[in-house]
Structure 1
């Protein structure tokens, strides 16, 4: 089984050396990893190990100057759909020195015989034009600047996602499911994590599934994050339903990625979805008229509850997708328990929530 796993995931991760026997995307020096915490080793978008795809790695900054590092320019493009990323802040690994450099000044070799990372067409960056030319002479491909390489990644994103998704559905998800059922504790709280790399770090650090090789860990994490996490929600009418194209009207993030924090405001048949109560309340204060229903996700059960009847804890040490949050509970006793466990500073009823309290959470 382990041999089959290695073969399947090697195929999925595009590690084949055909036509590029003398080149590896894996770091051959200690990689520069800019993310913080135990999850720093993995891409927050796809979960792949950064050291294995280091020579295609990119890095950026998002809200609150938080560092993000990706396995590829493709995953950077995915993040750009959700976050307002300043392209001047983007870094890329220089293939030759294996150091992070400004992407804006890099020379990209596009379409060489080196397999792409999460894409059909590889994009490798160099600090020095001569180094890029030498690589192109040996491995093929054309030399372009960062903006051109980025545009190519954006243009091919749909087809690249479809290609990778097909591989995941055929190979990765079934393999991950087998690992979960045979090796793992069945009560893993998937929704306790905001990103797939956080989940991977927890599985490894907390020994949820025993000793796993990186390919096994990747297959398992993909299954849990992309299949099981949404399967329970899809099969129950008790949870808030969010489609994949719904963005929070306040922060612009895709809400479906954060089912534990989902909230909604309904105006008759029309509704808006939010990735947390904080953003929902910001919208509510400016759009109070003609509301027919408001739903929030109970923190413990994750079931949809009436926002007007919930109790909200603020000032706790638990963070949502947008940082400090108003954390909802169906009853006051559970709110008090949570507040004591997580250093909450105040419990509010819906009618006690003020604009001042909400915006103070961003400070």
Structure 2
């Protein structure tokens, strides 16, 4: 059989695969100790649109990168169960061969499963009804076929289960107002949410429409139980938005880890605040609006929102950073500046004086009552 490969590796595809590989590496090491105690010592990686495993230039795509990363850590390799699927038989056969030929593949205790199926309602039903041990799932469809809220909810419903999926803005944007694919759009956003979104985007200018569609997706995910949603935007050479990677989890730790990974993958940052490449947004789209706030605003935001409160740096970051672009370092820098300027007090529960130039997680910020 002649091998089949992805036609060409692009810079976005490399960045996308790197984000997924890095998150898998961090996730597996965080999850594994608990999985060994309560989940039979197993963790899993699932890719339902896996492809053939390599590009024409020989570069590895996501399935191979994930397995190679797992093989670097014997405890992860011993625990990992992998499931790969693609609807194209040539892709699955090629992927199986590529996996079998990987150096050290015998280090995986559980042989990878490679299936050939079309992802549809059956897959969504299976994941919705089946209880799973900790699993990281990657969904990268060509377009949107098979991708649904029900499927995403199914793969993240159990403890330790996170998901990253490919959100093809251009095709989804066109599909929203196309009656021929209404069923697919309703499955992706939820029927009521899709109807509201159709009415909202009608006649909207392109740059606002982009934000509305992503905000609609993020809202639908949170409403179904995906408490933490983090999108990462890609644009083409002409500067036009093409697609997003959207991360969904129920756990703040996972959100924090992915936020750090996506921050490092961002091409620009302002005052140390990563861009995450989001589209311009206004206050009518809260998630996207917050993700465009400059660092200069953060100090005033904290003084206003925590007026009269005493709260640790760790709790401020956990409660305030969700749906905002700020990293832990940004909060530490701003709180340190506020303390040095005498705008907030501090308390160290450990009894030592706070060191200027830093703001440890356990340090309590004492905010004055807000003066109107």
TM-score (norm 1): 0.28
